[in-house]
Amino acid sequence: VSRSAKTRQAALQSLRLAFSSRTLSEFLLERRLMLTDSLEKCLKKGKGEEQALAGTVLTLLCLQMGSGPEGEEVFRSLKPLLVSVLTDSTASPGARQSCATALGMCCYIAAADLE
Report whether pLDDT(1) > 60: no
Judge contact between 99 and 49, C-beta under 8 A.
no
What's the confidence (pLDDT) of residue 50? 96
The answer as to whether 84 is a domain residue is yes
Residue 9 lies in a domain: no
Instruction: Please give the pLDDT value at position 2.
Output: 59
Neighbours of 47 (CB within 10 A): 13
Helix axis angle for 48-65 and 5-21, nearest 10°, is: 30
Per cent of the chain over pLDDT 90 is 73
10 part of a folded domain:
no
* pLDDT digit string, tens, across residues 58-85: 999 999 988 888 889 999 999 999 999 9
Residue 32 included in any domain: yes
Structural domain boundaries, residue 56 = 27-109
pLDDT of 87 above 80 = yes
Q: What is the pLDDT of residue 115?
A: 60
Number of structural domains in the chain: 1
| Residue 4 in domain | no
Q: Does residue 19 form part of some domain?
A: no
Q: Using the predicted structure, report yes or no on whether residue 18 has a pLDDT greater than 60.
A: yes
8 occurs within a structural domain = no
* Cβ–Cβ < 8 Å for 15, 58: no
For 10-23, what is the mean pLDDT?
A: 93
